[in-house]
Amino acid sequence: MKTLFLYNWQVRNDWFSWCEDVSEDELLKTRIGGVGGILKTLYHIVYLEYSWIHSVVQGKADFGQEPFEAHSSLRQVQDLSMQFHAEVEPFVMSWTSEMERNELTLLRDNGEWITYKHGEIMRHVIAHEIHHMGQLSVWAREIGREPITANLLRRGLFN
Q: Are strands 103-107 and 113-117 parallel, antiparallel or unpaired?
A: antiparallel
Check residue 107 for interaction with a second copy (CB under 8 A). no
Check residue 110 for interaction with a second copy (CB under 8 A). no
CB of 141 vs a second copy, minimal distance in Å? 4
What residue type is assigned to position 83 of the chain?
Q
Check residue 82 for interaction with a second copy (CB under 8 A). no
* CA separation for the pair 42, 136 (Å, rounded): 9
Cβ proximity to a second copy: between 88 and 140 the closer is: 140
Check residue 32 for interaction with a second copy (CB under 8 A). yes
CB of 67 vs a second copy, minimal distance in Å? 22
* CA separation for the pair 50, 80 (Å, rounded): 10
Check residue 12 for interaction with a second copy (CB under 8 A). no
What residue type is assigned to position 15 of the chain?
W
- Reported in sequence order, the residue ranges of the chain that DSSP labels E, i.e. its strands, are 103-107, 113-117
Interface with a second copy in residues 132-151 (CB under 8 A) = 132-135, 137-142, 147, 150-151
Check residue 112 for interaction with a second copy (CB under 8 A). no
* CA separation for the pair 3, 49 (Å, rounded): 15
Residues forming contacts to a second copy in the complex (CB under 8 A) are 3-4, 7, 31-34, 114, 116-117, 119-121, 123-124, 126-128, 130-135, 137-142, 147, 150-154, 157-158
